[in-house]
Amino acid sequence: MYWQPVVRCKNPDCPTPSAARIRLPYPKPPKTDAKAPKWPKEGWQARLICRDCDHWYVYEAGDVQWAPYTSPLADQSNLDFMCAELTCAEAGCKSKTRWYVLDNSQMSESELFEFVLRADPVVVCENGHPFQISGIKTQKASKAEKI
């Protein structure tokens, strides 16, 4: 058994049962016979989109819990923790915003960007500009080994 960091979707109407957790990537998670690490540090934030309800929220260090799993997330061939990085095209705004999703469908890069852009509420850059209005200057997709 291994410790894995997790969060619960914050959407009260999410179809995922409240006991279900969204696993987060963590390099070399410890076995459960050791104490769970003190991670993440205060000030940590991640924009995470729930795959089940398409809602996004900013998660903070206090939202993260540790749960036991039989194998680390990195060993799960049916799960990918994906990151979509979008650069805002609003004049004078140079923010790069990262969006994360735990995916079980092996979606392509274009499917990942479509999923992020249709998330609810409207997806905005770190400065609050809606991407559907301001546009996207650059976009990059990758598998996230850590956040």
Instruction: Provide Rg for the chain, Cα atoms.
Output: 16
Q: For 57-109, how does the pLDDT look when each residue is reduced to its tens digit (9 = 90+)?
A: 999 999 999 999 999 888 887 788 999 999 999 999 999 999 999 988 788 99
* Per-residue pLDDT at 122 exceeds 80: yes
With bands split at pLDDT 50, 70 and 90, how would you rate the model's confidence at 17?
A: confident
User: Domain segments of the chain: what residues?
Assistant: 2-143
Query: Is residue 50 predicted with pLDDT exceeding 90?
Result: yes
Q: Return the percentage of the chain with pLDDT > 70, whole number.
A: 99
What's the pLDDT at 76? 81
With CA atoms as reference, report the closest residue to 69 among 19, 9, 147, 5.
Answer: 5
C-alpha to C-alpha distance for 84 and 69, rounded to whole angstroms: 26
3-state secondary structure 5-34: EEECCCCCCCCCCCCCCEECCCCCCCECCC
pLDDT at 19 over 70: no
* DSSP-assigned letters across all residues of 35-77: PPP--SPTT-EEEEE-TTT-BEEEEEGGG-EEEEESS-GGG-T
For residue 4, pLDDT beyond 90:
yes
The answer, yes or no, to whether residue 53 has pLDDT greater than 80, is yes
